Amino acid sequence: MTIPAADLTLDELRLALAPALADAAVFDGWSDAALASASEAEGVDPDVSRLAFPGGAMDMIAAWIASIDVAMFAALPPETLAPMKIRERIRSIVEARLGAIAGREEALRRALAIMAMPQNLVRAGKLGWASADAMWRLAGDTATDYNHYTKRAILASIYAATLAVFVDDESEGKAETRAFLDRRIDGVMRFEKAKAQFLRPDAERFSLTRFLGRLRYPAR
């Protein structure tokens, strides 16, 4: 495929080049060599491509993550997710992202190593948060209170841990990764259930004050 670079903004060009960049990064890492290879494969002037990624490797990785967001939304339209329970939605959403990465595990491994560098930690954290936000928005989350932040922090943690398993998973059909993801989601759901019970109105949950009062003044 040849990308009509002259017709694209730099943001659009970054997104268009991202899949080819990830393919090249499997062999060349997130480097100028990978960018040159991706540019050649997509028929884009390398000088124009370099303008699109002034921040080097982290800009390339950010573009790949953005392209995974696009693939995720395309794979799971609202009508597909609507009948699902929230647990199933989150699982399907994470699996859609993994499907977009499959075959590029070495590119992911190299991306994770770059993102873990001290100078990149802040930006990596922002990218992880943005991914979690995109997943929750696709899942239909509309929370605006503290749950908005806790949900995203928890999902970002689950996704990061799942990627760490995925990148080295050689089991058939990535079965180990899927089992790991299921366990993590189940753990969060149990926590959310316990939290909901704890936060019930006073009339519906244990009250220490009421209990002590009954000890002092037994019901007749």
In the chain (220 residues long), the average pLDDT of successive 10-residue segments reads 70 95 97 96 93 96 98 96 93 96 97 97 96 95 84 92 96 96 84 56 51 52
pTM: 0.83
Distance, CA of 29 to CA of 107 (rounded, Å): 7
* Domain span(s) for CATH 1.10.357 in the chain: 65-220
Q: How many CB atoms sit inside 10 A of residue 92's CB?
A: 17
Q: What is the pLDDT of residue 53?
A: 97
Architecture of domain 65-220: Orthogonal Bundle (1.10)
Q: Which two three-digit tokens encode residue 160?
A: 């990061």
The C-alpha atoms of residue 149 and residue 151 are separated, in whole angstroms, by 5
CB 58 within 8 A of CB 123: yes
pLDDT of residue 203: 47
